[in-house]
Amino acid sequence: MPDDARRVEELEQALARQRRDLHELNTIGVALSAQRDVHKLMELILSSSRQLTAADAGSLYLVERGKDHDATTDDQLRFSWTQNDSIEVPFEEFAMPLAETSIAGYAALSGQAVNVADAYDLPPGSPFRYGRSFDQRSGYRTKSILSVPMRDHKGEVIGVVQLINKKRDPQARLQPVSVVEEQVVPFTSTDEELVTSLASQAAVALENARLIQGIKSLFNSFVSASVTAIESRDPTTSGHSSRVADLTVGLAERMDALTDGPFKDVRFTRDQLQEIRYASLLHDFGKVGVREKVLIKGKKLYVGEMLVIRQRFAYIRRTLEAEHYKAQLDAIRQGQGSPEALARMERDHQARLAEVEQLMGMITAANEPSILEEESFRALMDLTSQSYADAEGERQPYLTPNEVQALSIRRGSLSEKERREIESHVTHTFRFLSEIPWTGEYRRVPDIAYAHHEKLDGSGYPRKLAGEAIPIQSRMMTISDIFDALVAWDRPYKKAVPVERALDILREEAGSGKLDTRVLDLFLGARVYEITLPRGGARG
């Protein structure tokens, strides 16, 4: 073949290799930018570098800066990942001082690639050395090494890719050790250029992944702090938000796994499951906008109001006693204090005291957040017409109109006005969550949380949504929220409901068209409700 033709062929082969290398670099770059998991990203960086250079093994080191950014005395180099095609290498992460005495340390500090043909025969005057302890322990032979610094977008070295033993045959296995002399060759300048280019892409991808991970960690801390703020306002519901989140995510995971039935086409990505968790954890955050005394109101009267009534009835008893003793004294002075007369007066007095005690008992019973019977309701109405003389001699009712109105609440402990205030927490939640600049994958968090008190028949609140207008995630959360509220043992206004009774109540709600029957069937059939129950299946 003439020299010109041979030269043309060599150039065409070089051009084809360059195109192939560029294509591989582009493909790897796309894969790197798409990977968010730091550990998977490190594995991808190393495997891609080895693939480009036919390296048998490799390690990835990350630079950890010390507290003093102006000095490097406390900087470290962390051995973060390793791969080897020829032997099993038990991976154990460790840190070492960032120093020039190691090849990787030198590459990190100098910012220059280090290309060593034989680790056992380093160039004279090399500031670094290679310790053979790993080879001696494992029966491996480290020969050619390429150590390339990873620079981020600011040019700062954040890590080192270290490749070991470039092979003539990429499929060869370097065992026994004698194979090394035949198969292993030095890394080329082209290898160095390729890995340097890849390392720069990898550094940016790694920094982005670590930044995203840091943001997520920071946001998770924010969510945790928000839940703590909610529960500090209403300690009796401690743990409720977390339990609702566990139940709702558990329900979503089981729905995602279905291959038949009404939800066979419903799928949730990892981000969508996290979106559900965030919405569930923060679904009650709006309670920070509700007055605390309303939020924790366990009985129909506030504590201070009941205390005033008790003091009032104590005053009434003392007044009756004073009037009784005065009547006895007057009778004796007027010569009408026979034993029979005094005894009759004492019986009448005790009867009045008993009546007052009975009235106080009725008030105490009516103050409980239970259903108020019609007879008790009428008796309360009568108390506004009964009166006593105060210290100034003015007649005052046993109960004020406002007190009677509060005690006359037919069910629960909240008046209609207080109930509307409690229900407003959903709108407060939506407004608060809407102020957060959610990234795209979590953009529906406010809407999911906003609808967790809506009912399929339109009887829920605050927007009276019905049917498919309620997101499926919200329908799942509604069931989780009701179940946990029913079985909770720590509410001041009700006793814990046994699990089976709670499930029956959910069935009744679904039967009346308020809850999604299909979602409830999955909740029951997959026994999702057991996720938050202690062992033994009951709380208390």
pLDDT of 480 above 90:
yes
pLDDT at 517: 96
Q: What percent of the chain has pLDDT over 90?
A: 48
* Residue range 340-359: mean pLDDT, rounded: 91
Judge contact between 22 and 42, C-beta under 8 A.
no
> What is the Cα–Cα distance from 101 to 123, expressed in whole angstroms?
14
pLDDT of 515 above 90:
yes
pLDDT of 290 above 80:
yes
pLDDT at 540: 42
pLDDT tens-digit readout, 137-194: 999 999 999 999 988 878 889 889 999 999 999 999 999 999 999 999 999 998 998 8
The mean pLDDT value of the chain amounts to 86
Which residues is 96 bridged to in the sheet? 77
pLDDT at 538: 47
- Same CATH topology for 3-211 and 234-291+421-532: the answer is no
Minimum mean pLDDT range among 193-202, 259-268, 467-476: 193-202
Phi-psi region of 139 (alpha: psi -120 to 50; beta: other; left: phi over 0): left
* Residue range 226-254: mean pLDDT, rounded: 88
Provide the pairing of β-strand 55-64 with 76-84.
Answer: antiparallel
| The residue to which tokens 């968090």 are assigned | 445
> What is the Cα–Cα distance from 99 to 16, expressed in whole angstroms?
40
CA distances from 222 to 225, 227, 277, 446 (A): 5, 9, 14, 16
* Residue range 118-136: mean pLDDT, rounded: 92
Which residues is 167 bridged to in the sheet? 184
> What is the Cα–Cα distance from 429 to 447, expressed in whole angstroms?
10
Q: Which of 96, 135, 95 is nearest to 118 (CA)?
A: 135
Helix (H, G, I), strand (E, B) or coil at 60: strand
* Residue range 344-352: mean pLDDT, rounded: 92
Q: What six digits make up the tokens of 414?
A: 């909240």
E-strand ranges in 94-197 read 94-97, 114-116, 145-151, 157-167, 184-185
Provide the pairing of β-strand 157-167 with 55-64.
Answer: antiparallel
Neighbours of 262 (CB within 10 A): 14
Specify the CATH class of 234-291+421-532 in words.
mainly alpha
Quick one: CA dihedral 205, 206, 211, 216, positive or negative?
positive
Q: What six digits make up the tokens of 46?
A: 């190393």
Range 265-291 burial, b when 16+ CB lie within 10 A, else e = eeebeeebbbbbbbbbbbbbbbbbbbe
Minimum mean pLDDT range among 59-73, 306-320, 350-364, 510-524: 59-73
Q: What six digits make up the tokens of 494?
A: 């009700």
**What own/partner pairs with CB < 8 Å and gap ≥ 24 does 135-139 have?**
138/87, 138/89, 139/87, 139/175, 139/177
CATH fit for domain 3-211, picks 3.30.470.10, 3.40.228.10, 3.30.450.40, 3.40.190.10: 3.30.450.40
Q: What are phi and psi of 292, to 5 degrees?
A: -60, -40
* Residue range 122-147: mean pLDDT, rounded: 92
Minimum mean pLDDT range among 18-32, 48-62, 90-104, 522-536: 18-32
**What own/partner pairs with CB < 8 Å and gap ≥ 24 does 88-91 have?**
89/57, 89/138
pLDDT at 513: 96
pLDDT at 494: 58
Q: What six digits make up the tokens of 422?
A: 């409690």
* Residue range 502-509: mean pLDDT, rounded: 95
* Residue range 79-105: mean pLDDT, rounded: 90
- For residue 406, give every residue at least 6 positions away whose Cβ sits within 8 Å of its Cβ, in sequence order, or none: 300, 301, 305, 415
Range 497-525 burial, b when 16+ CB lie within 10 A, else e = bebeebbeebeebbeeebbbeebbebbee
- Using a cut of 0.85, tell me whether the model's pTM lies above it: no
pLDDT class for 375, splitting at 50, 70, 90? confident
Q: What percent of the chain has pLDDT over 70?
A: 89
Q: Which of 131, 65, 82 is nearest to 103 (CA)?
A: 131
Q: Where are the domains of the chain?
A: 3-211, 234-291+421-532, 303-413
pLDDT tens-digit readout, 186-233: 999 989 988 888 887 778 888 877 887 888 888 888 888 888 888 887
